[in-house]
Amino acid sequence: MTAAAAVIPLIIVIIIAHGLYKKVDVFSEFAEGAKENLKTCAELLPTLIALITAVGLFRASGAQELITDFLSGFFDRIGFPAECLPLALIRPVSGSGALAVYESLLEENGPDSFAGRVASVMLGSTETTFYTLAVYYGAVRIKNTRHTLAASLAGDMTGFIVSVLTVNIFFEQI
Amino acid sequence: MLTFIFSLLIIISIIAGAATGNLRELTEAVLNEPVNAVELCIYLCGGMCFWGGLMRVAEKSGLTEGLAKLFALILGGLFKDIDKQGRAFKAICMNITANLLGLGNAATPFGIEAMKALAEEEGAGDTATPSMVIFTVINTASLTLIPSTALSLRMKYGSADPIEIVPAVWITSAAALAVSVTLAVLPLSGKRKRGKKL
């Protein structure tokens, strides 16, 4: 995927060059922006500790295996990797929870396995739907959100299904 | 919500652990997993800070705003009801640009500003206006050009080619966005037409 490999360097060059052209103090603004995200990262840590430990326990206890085994017959038949099911369930609800589940999945299956790739595409192409709704409508005290949730969840479902399809098309020989 | 997920996972784990005789593994997990969490946070921190810094440069140089103007052309068709020169529409364009560049920190404040401006301009009570529905639905879809979290973690777990998933991510995001926006707009356009006839 050489095109994808070129995108990131290209974006970096454009941003820095445009910054220099507009006489932005590139280095101090960079440091300032990095500091802002450092704060975000520090705020993320307590949640991550709680959720990663909970997900780790769930895996160690054998509960995850029981559920995956139970469901894998059905999901394998429709071509959906059962390992990705916990990620699909938690993705719309909690961003840090999804991160915890994703990490545990990569550790177990490896990033270049079928499930690892599907999970990567899923994580990259969907958002924390419930959180977004709560923040946006909460800010303007809207109670009746009409069909917002239904449309958003349909989008998430589409994301899950299409991630299986695209991984099949790009990486598996069918 | 997190209280529920957290408690449920732990309670199920302990019951399942006791039933399957995995209590030893459970104790090991309690000791190891918090360390994993800190490790993960440190791992993600580098990339997050780097992109945060870069995007702040883009914001200061006016690159973000320039892109927002470009998107205004596309977004104008979706947000038919609102003033294209108004505060709400500008905030919407900035929010979507920030999302696309992976500027989560900047996107949320713009998003909240857009919702507030929409509430003022359209005089919403406690029911969402059509523009609010469409705008929120766009934000629940992922618009990121570079899925940096997934890329960092793929690298951490030794992927041979971490960025190979990027084209698949773009196609998948576009499909999810198309479905959710269509479902957001369709019920509204039906009502709009009926409204005109009456």
Closest CA to A36 of B139, B51, B108, B150: B51
> Residue A13, exposed/middle/buried by CB under 10 A (0-12, 13-18, 19+)?
exposed
Cβ contact A103:A52 at 8 Å: yes
CA A163 – CA B169 distance, rounded (Å): 7
Name the residue type at position B184: A
* Residue B194: per-residue pLDDT: 47
Q: Do A127 and B160 touch (CB under 8 A)?
A: no
The pLDDT > 90 percentage for chain B reads: 34
In chain A, which stretches have pLDDT less than 70? 1-5, 173-174
Q: Do A48 and B154 touch (CB under 8 A)?
A: no
- What is the distance, to the nearest Å, from the Cα of residue A126 to the centroid of all Cα atoms in its chain? 6
- Is the pLDDT reported for residue B27 higher than 70? yes
pLDDT band at B49 (very low <50, low <70, confident <90, very high): confident
Q: Do B147 and A63 touch (CB under 8 A)?
A: no
The residue-averaged pLDDT of B155-160 equals 93
Domain locations along chain A: 36-172
Q: Do A57 and B30 touch (CB under 8 A)?
A: yes
**C-alpha distance from B184 to closest chain A C-alpha (Å):** 6
Q: Do A123 and B149 touch (CB under 8 A)?
A: yes
Please indicate if any CB of chain A lies within 8 Å of the CB of B11: no
Please indicate if any CB of chain A lies within 8 Å of the CB of B38: yes
The gap between the terminal CA atoms of chain A, to the nearest Å, is 19
The residue-averaged pLDDT of B124-138 equals 91
Mutate to test the interface with A, among B3, B57, B118, B171 (most CBs of A within 10 A): B57
Domain locations along chain B: 2-197
- Is the pLDDT reported for residue B36 higher than 50? yes
